[in-house]
Structure 1
Amino acid sequence: MDERERADCFVLADGISTKDSRDYMDVALFRMSKRENRAGEVIRYDLADGYIEVKAGPDGMASIWDYDIVLMLISHLTEAMNLYKRGRGEMPGRLFTPHVSDILKFCQWGDGGNQARRIESALDRLKGTTIKSVRQRPSRNGKGLMRQVEGESLISDYLVLSHTASGRVDRIQIEAPRWIYRQVIDSQGPVVLTVSQAYFLIDSPIARFIYRLARRAAGKSNAKWGFKTIYERSGLKCFKEFCRILRRLIKSDSLPDYLLVEEAGLYGPQLIITHRSTSAARQPVDNS
């Protein structure tokens, strides 16, 4: 489709489900610490077909809570594209223009006096956090592999469009990065997964990460991951502390949609993830 036929913006829709990018739900594209902003740091994840690097700018690395805004962007872009496919709207562009109140409601952040400032700071970190993906892909002629390198921020740009009479930020324009836009608009397969609304009520960053991993790896069934592998995908710095918090999460049995069980493994402890609607008798897929 010609670029001129696309709408500049995609707009808010009521009552939509939360979506996330399937490709990146098993690695942390953000920091998990509330205390450390990790400005200027790089986290590298080595994968079977390459690696991913998360690079932080001077404002600090985007946090897992900042990423709530990206979830909102993906969700509304997906809804706009679904409406277009059903002939009920225009082909969406890359610009997203929510009110601050819309962001606070979607992300369930509350409406305190400092929340508008929190959003602006989050956007600074999202824009300054770059994801570099280096992967091996089949060549177009089918002979061998090609090295594919992509690098983009979690959001491309943002602009504060207006203020209320009191001077607080009221409306914001966010430009979706090309990697998100391309996934939702151009992909032929399922590239987003629905996330429970209860996700936003999870306070622990590790619990949030485990939920995203479970949604990606287990879906409506089950999966098995080594503690060490999950830790290496989390970007955290202390394995012992990670295990302590994970075991506390398992004991609490409080993760939305999923049951977690620890099992001894040949190379260390394993996490068994089972969707609560699935029979525990089914054999989990081993991703250790």
Structure 2
Amino acid sequence: MLNNPTKKEHLYPSDGAETWMQLLKNTALFDRRTGKPLLSQRNRNFRVDHSALKQSDLLHTSVMDIPHKDEHGLMDINPFGLGKKPRFTPIIYDLPDAKITVTGSSEYGIATIYDYDIVIYMISHLTRQMNEIKYKIIEGEQNPRLPQRMMHINVTDLFRQLKIVDGGKQHTLLKSKLQRLKGTVIEIDKKIDKTLRRNGSLSLIGDYQIDSETKSGNISEFILEVPRWIYDGVVRTADPTVLTLCDDYMLLKSGYHKFLARIARKSAGENSWNWSIEQLYERSGSNQPMKRFKSDIKEAIDKLKTDPLPDYDIHYQETGTGRRKALSIHIEKRTLPT
């Protein structure tokens, strides 16, 4: 449930916060009696792992090197359609902890898994900016400003990060992607309070504005508003609600492979996980008949035998016969050679 409106509390800790200190004052990390942070700004709890700092090269990272980040609370479902064409019927997930309904506009439909790459790009850049702020704190800066929710996006950089060949057709498709993302709404009705999922009505992106176009009509820059729930999940001082996807996620061309990569990261993590075909079908949001979905998943996993996902091995196993025939999917984090 939402906070009691009679209480002077923030819906999100980041609401109204423009600096690191203001963010702390909105959280349990700030002692209102003493007026001081509960954790020193140089405390190890604020530190970023030095190997991570080296990997992302916070001060000199090019757009090609930014790790792909996704929203933790939605990685076990698809808040989008799996196909390349937009879907117009709602996606409904009735899960143990929440009922989630995804709808799109009557004109543009629900965003696709390929449209969602823009959301991943947005989360990834915001996470990088927050890592830079934490690095400044480690270096002694007292109260750096938080990232703005209005993100200025260079389309050339966007296409490079999304592994899209720049061209006139892609600029037309970009407008359609933004329209679908803007119109896609996720309604979450939590059944259990202790869950990382947000509650209420969420949008995949906020407002956007085409800021600059070339003489040929191609988009060169646009401004994108980061939704409050995504912004808060990234800038929060404790337990950011983001997970890192594999480096080559944007190279995956199959919607099913993207789906498997996301759900592998959320469910298996650093270990392994098993899904029955019924469970996987439920989490996919697919509007295909089960029989067709089962066939498509098997075909997608078969293709991974020659071109596997970067971080995970995925296999399926069929047991039983006739009506008792069952399909299970095993996901395991690949161990790097020593």
> Which of 1 and 2 has greater Rg?
2
Give 4+ residue runs of structure 1 displaced > 6 Å after superposition: none
User: Normalising by the residue count of structure 1, what TM-score does the alignment of the two structures yield?
Assistant: 0.85
**What are the superposed Cα offsets for residues 73-121 of structure 1, whole Å, 9 maximum, x if unpaired?**
0000111111112227631121111111111111111112211111111
- 1:56 paired to 2:104: yes
> Match for residue 284 of structure 1?
none
Aligned residue for 1:228, secondary structure, equals helix
Alignment partners' CA distance in 2, 1:260 and 1:5: 43
> 1:124 aligned to 158, 176, 179, which one?
179
Any conservation in 1 of the 2:96–2:191 contact (CA below 8 Å)?
no
> 1:243 aligned to 294, 297, 301, which one?
294
> Match for residue 286 of structure 1?
none
Q: CA deviation at 1:192?
A: 1.2
Any conservation in 2 of the 1:13–1:76 contact (CA below 8 Å)?
no
Any conservation in 2 of the 1:218–1:274 contact (CA below 8 Å)?
yes
Counterparts in 2 of 1:6 and 1:173: CA distance versus 1, 3 Å? farther
Alignment partners' CA distance in 2, 1:158 and 1:98: 10
Alignment partners' CA distance in 2, 1:82 and 1:206: 31
Q: CA deviation at 1:159?
A: 0.3
> 1:77 aligned to 113, 126, 145, which one?
126
Counterparts in 2 of 1:228 and 1:2: CA distance versus 1, 3 Å? closer
Alignment partners' CA distance in 2, 1:174 and 1:242: 34
Alignment partners' CA distance in 1, 2:230 and 2:15: 19
> Match for residue 22 of structure 1?
72
> Match for residue 272 of structure 1?
330
Equivalent residue runs for 1:116-155 within 5 Å: 116-138=171-193, 149-155=199-205
Alignment partners' CA distance in 1, 2:267 and 2:240: 14
> Match for residue 309 of structure 2?
255
* Structure 1 unaligned spans of 5+: 140-144, 280-288
Alignment partners' CA distance in 1, 2:316 and 2:187: 33
Q: CA deviation at 1:68?
A: 0.4
Aligned residue for 2:161, secondary structure, equals helix
Q: Quick check: 165-174 or 19-28, which moved more?
A: 165-174
* Structure 2 unaligned spans of 5+: 1-13, 21-59, 138-143
Aligned residue for 1:269, secondary structure, equals strand
User: Normalising by the residue count of structure 2, what TM-score does the alignment of the two structures yield?
Assistant: 0.73
> Match for residue 230 of structure 2?
180
> Match for residue 226 of structure 1?
276
Alignment partners' CA distance in 2, 1:2 and 1:90: 14
- Which structure has greater strand proportion? 1
Q: State the one-letter code of the partner of 1:71.
A: I
Counterparts in 2 of 1:6 and 1:169: CA distance versus 1, 3 Å? farther
Aligned length: 266
Q: CA deviation at 1:2?
A: 8.6
Aligned alpha-carbon RMSD (Å): 2.5
Alignment partners' CA distance in 1, 2:79 and 2:336: 29
Counterparts in 2 of 1:241 and 1:102: CA distance versus 1, 3 Å? same
Equivalent residue runs for 1:93-132 within 5 Å: 93-132=148-187
Alignment partners' CA distance in 1, 2:199 and 2:268: 28
